[in-house]
Structure 1
Amino acid sequence: MGREGHAAAAWPLGESYAAEARAHGVQVHPEALGRAFQEVYRAQNQRFPNYGQDQGLSSQQWWVDLVKQTFRLTGVHEDGLLTLMAENLYRDFCSARNWEALPGASETLSQCCQRGFRMGVISNFDNRLENILTQCNLRHHFEFILTSESAGFAKPDRRIFKQALHLSGVPPEQAAHIGDDYSRDYSAARAVGMHSFLLQPGGQGKELEVPPEDVLPTLSHLLALIEKG
């Protein structure tokens, strides 16, 4: 479900959903679930931005409804089963088994800590993120975890970046942001005056107009930039 705090889903989301269905005797193709999830996620995010906070939803309600709709789109319609699977998956995605650290994440974060950098997370995710990062043994690297749910604003809204700068006590010109989305991460951070780096594993998105010195093929490349600085 995206990279959050240098962690990513351990395997395709459709595989996790299909495994949950199999545990209840239901066979659904993982690829079909993956496609359905993407379709439902886009619609849910447009109808209820940032977990529906302004419409009175909780993030758990938002996710449970999304998962149920995903399964419905692939032909599963029994209400009790849908609720059970959705609640199980909501809980399971708070554990380390569904997430893994990106290559080079631990070493890069440790080196940054040793150099005295103050670090935090700005994420368009819900408040499970802190526990996820703890489970993945990454939480201790960060002074704060700022989710869009707790901030009340989602990237690319400049207000979430300003909250993060306030929490860090660092002016924007002395801060840098690393993310893998051009508009929500790279451009948004630059818009508030921060330095910004775009993580592009495998050279993805080379068509974007980003100066080569702002592109990180891997997190480990950040250490080389720090050494040069």
Structure 2
Amino acid sequence: MLLSPGRYQAVFFDVGDTLMYIPAAQAVICRHLAEKALVREEEEVGQLFQQAFRQFYVDRELNPEECCSPESDRQFWTGVYRFMLDELGAGGEWAEEEIHHCCHELYEMFTSPANYRLFDDVVETLEALRERGFRLGVVSNFSPTLKDILQDKGILHYFDPVIVSTEVGLEKPNPAIFRLALAEAGLEASEVLYVGDHDLNDLWAPRQIGMDAVKILRYDYMTGEGFTGLQELLK
């Protein structure tokens, strides 16, 4: 049992692909591009999105000391979208200004609440954890719109603290962002269990300060030890 009585005082969570996700992101992108007369197949767009995310984020060597800001978050994601548009041949049909504008439109779309969905097990698990007396928090690499998204999805009130990378100038895998979360919560590392989906950001980083961490495997392609649903925290 992960949350045996008396072992932890709090459970902190990652957000993206842990608590919420964007269903059929490639379809959202395709529709937006088609509205601009750039028609491409969903499969190709989906493959390029995965390639870009892996190349720019998953497989790159992350610098724990790198600073984070709203500007750096926007720069990262517009870079991902620019890579995709280049691979899709947008330069042969659009002017540079239109490509630039489209990248920023996509960023706005994917940092607003409309396209996000909670996983089915989120609300019942948060409610059950709170009823059992656990304090809940969030530590997330995200744009400054995260609190608005959590509010829109009806779960912001469960969490205190809510530590957002672009608001505090630190981002995972820098262990300092977890120290900040503990300081705001007034808790010791040994009193908190962290739940996330990324080996470096959500397992390695919190463990550097003595916080226990477990991995949630939301998708079939994910590897390693962990569990597939938040309900397993309650067993």
CA contact (8 A) 1:144 1:167 kept: yes
Match of 2:175 among 143, 152, 158: 158
Counterpart of 1:115?
A: 132
Distance across 2 between alignment mates of 1:65 and 1:220: 36
Q: Which has the higher helix share?
A: 1
Per-residue deviation, residues 9-59 of structure 1 (Å, max 9, x unmatched): 122x22221110011121012222233233434554559979x85799443
Counterpart of 1:105?
A: 122
Counterpart of 2:23?
A: 10
- Equivalenced residue count is 215
CA contact (8 A) 1:4 1:123 kept: no
CA contact (8 A) 1:7 1:133 kept: no
Query: Residues 88 and 154 from structure 1, CA distance in 2 versus in 1: closer, same or farther, beyond 3 angstroms?
Result: same
CA contact (8 A) 1:189 1:195 kept: yes
Distance across 1 between alignment mates of 2:186 and 2:227: 26
CA contact (8 A) 1:18 1:28 kept: yes
CA contact (8 A) 2:203 2:214 kept: yes
Distance across 1 between alignment mates of 2:144 and 2:181: 15
CA contact (8 A) 2:18 2:218 kept: no
Query: Residues 163 and 177 from structure 1, CA distance in 2 versus in 1: closer, same or farther, beyond 3 angstroms?
Result: same
Distance across 2 between alignment mates of 1:8 and 1:54: 22
Counterpart of 2:186?
A: 169
Distance across 1 between alignment mates of 2:62 and 2:212: 31
Distance across 1 between alignment mates of 2:195 and 2:160: 16
Counterpart of 2:103?
A: 86
Identity of aligned residues (%): 23
Per-residue deviation, residues 167-189 of structure 1 (Å, max 9, x unmatched): 11110111110112223212332
Counterpart of 2:36?
A: 24
Compute the TM-score of the two structures, normalised by the length of structure 2.
0.78
CA contact (8 A) 2:63 2:173 kept: no
Q: Which ranges in structure 2 are unaligned for 5 or more consecutive residues? A: 1-14
Q: Name the SS of the counterpart of 2:90 in structure 1.
A: coil
Match of 2:161 among 141, 144, 150: 144
